[in-house]
Amino acid sequence: VEFDNIFLDYSRQQASPDTINKLYKLADEAHLKQKIDRMYNGDHINITENRSVLHVALRAPRNSAICSDGKNVVPDVWNVLDKIKDFSERVRNGSWVGATGKELKDVIAVGIGGSFLGPLFVHTALQTDPEASKNARGRELRFLANVDPIDAARNISGLNPETTLVVVVSKTFTTAETMLNARTLREWISSALGVSAVAKHMVAVSTNLPLVEKFGIDPNNAFAFWDWVGGRNSVCSAVGVLPLSLQYGFAVVEKFLQGAHSIDQHFSSAPFEKNIPVLLGLLSVWNVSFLGYPARAILPYSQALEKLAPHIQQVSMESNGKGVSIDGLPLPFESGEIDFGEPGTNGQHSFYQLIHQGRVIPCDFIGVVKSQQPVYLKGEVVNNHDELMSNFFAQPDALAYGKTPEQLRKENVSEHLIPHKTFTGNRPSLSILLPTLDAYRIGQLLAIYEHRVAVQGFVWGINSFDQWGVELGKSLATQVRKQLHASRVNGEPVEEGFNFSTKTLLTRYLKATSDVPADPSTLLPKI
């Protein structure tokens, strides 16, 4: 199947034409087309949170109309995009400066989950694109996600508060990890430049303007997004567009949005047999629920896509890691898949052994026709990109056809080694070939995977747009946080409310860190 010079080959799936036709019928039974239309129409398809699911509106052209609760949201989207364009250009051209008058060349984006993985994927993919890298010359973009103080230490290492702008990304401005990291960077800035410097060096992506102002950030420097944007689908909102525009310029990021929009149109209008996200989603349902393969390997033969798999892990596993239907009934079949991956050829020297001769794991091979950074060496048999692509073309065949004992005997392989060198074959994969990897194509690739995951959820009959599974651990962590505070400040022993295992671990931890002061003075990382 081909769309806009993107080529999908799924001939190496364990599926015949008859299988594919049955999957189309399954899609009809699951009302897939109607569910896609309901998403685009702004219906509240996220029923547990009573919300629309409209990340497609984030990359819609200015003159589009996409409604939520009867209101066209596209003008609101473009108001924020225009504000980002204006602000990022002022920072980049030096008309917005820091508290000491120096240009802000370095940006730290503070956020976790969808506020981090998607923007990091796009940033990593753009770093070596010729146009983007030229625009980013002399600038640096970093992402602070983990509440581990080591992550904060790494992020501020080598940076000067005078030239650093911090973007705090939290819809509610209450996310525990993000806000502790934000307070850490606020202290880093104010201890060097004074409290008044915070307004010049920190901006927010949030909808909670009172808390933004209380934090010390000017509400005029808060960039909005909406409750119809899920975190894992938010890279096309201010969550991603603001830090990426500061690094690469708004014009580059706009091309990324246009690429995503092209797939949005394709997904909503192409017939199933020519619809790339639909085909990918149906094949995943086939592999997971019918063939019983629980995992999927995402294998981009491009180092620029090294952060694709971690992002899709969240997009897929947080969306479809559900055990009940949208009506709350236990599912009578397996849904969701375990996603992992690594760029080729690195992965070949890591986990491909298992894929070839161990468990059957369906693979997505992603190749790019033209490298972002070609290298040619005189006298070499092939250039560097051709060497990479030789493996991209060979690996799917190795999985599909394998190697038989008869072939090995013809090669005079010792009989005792034949079982070890036999490859069973018939291991499914698909190949996606992109013409280039510029901002537009990165947007297309992102949208293909976003919509593929939605297709799977629609066919499984689950809600792919909530994430209640992340809540329980958070609430239990609150209990532990209270206990740590009581033990540190008041010397209280670990209470009986914890089970024996947790109580033992906590007591051991507190004993080993008894030198931590009860009321410490501020200490920031030193690297």
* 386 pLDDT tier (thresholds 50, 70, 90): very high
- 240 pLDDT band, cuts 50/70/90, is very high
**127: buried, middle or exposed (CB in 10 Å: 19+, 13-18, 0-12)?**
middle
Distance CA 484, CA 473 (A): 16
pLDDT at 231 over 90: yes
Provide the pLDDT for residue 391: 98
Q: Is the per-residue pLDDT at 427 higher than 90? A: yes
The two tokens of residue 69 are 């609760």
Looking at residue 244, its pLDDT comes to 98
Sequence-distant (≥ 6) Cβ neighbours of residue 407 within 8 angstroms:
none
Label residue 197 by pLDDT band (50, 70, 90).
very high
pLDDT at 262: 98
Percentage of the chain beyond pLDDT 70 is: 100
pLDDT in tens, 466-525: 999 999 999 999 999 999 999 999 999 998 899 999 999 999 999 999 999 999 999 999
Percentage of the chain surpassing pLDDT 90? 97
pLDDT at 526 over 90: no
The verdict on whether 349 is a catalytic residue reads yes
Give yes or no for a contact between 274 and 322, defined as CB atoms under 8 angstroms apart.
no
Burial class (CB in 10 A: 0-12, 13-18, 19+), 467: buried
Residue in 368, 213, 211, 387 with CA at minimum distance from that of residue 304: 368
Average pLDDT over residues 298-325: 98
- Among 372, 454, 358, which residue's Cα sits nearest to residue 126? 372
Whether 337 is catalytic: no
Look at residue 496 in the predicted model and tell me its pLDDT: 85
State the number of CA atoms in the 13 A half-sphere of 407 facing the CB: 8
Helices 74-92 and 250-269 pack at an angle, to 10 degrees, of: 160
Establish whether 385 is a catalytic residue.
no
Q: Is residue 44's pLDDT more than 90?
A: yes
Catalytic residue among 134, 420, 474, 485: 474
- What pLDDT is stored for residue 164 in this prediction? 98
Q: What is the number of residues in the chain?
A: 527
Does residue 207 surpass a pLDDT of 90? no
Q: What are phi and psi of 77, to 5 degrees?
A: -60, -45
Taking CB atoms within 8 Å and a gap of at least 24, the contacts of 414-422 are: none
User: Looking at 25, 71, 349, 420, which residue is catalytic?
Assistant: 349
> With contact defined as beta carbons under 8 Å apart, do 232 and 319 qualify?
yes
At 141, is the secondary structure helix, strand, or coil? strand
The one catalytic residue in 177, 318, 337, 342 is 318
In the block, tokens 């005792």 appear at 416
CB 305 within 8 A of CB 446: no
Closest CA to 443 of 280, 301, 255: 255
* CB-CB neighbours of 4 under 10 Å: 14
For 127-153, how does the pLDDT look when each residue is reduced to its tens digit (9 = 90+)?
Answer: 999 999 999 999 999 999 999 999 999
Query: Hey, what long-range contacts does 209-213 have (CB within 8 A, 24 or more apart)?
Result: 211/172, 211/173, 211/174, 212/173
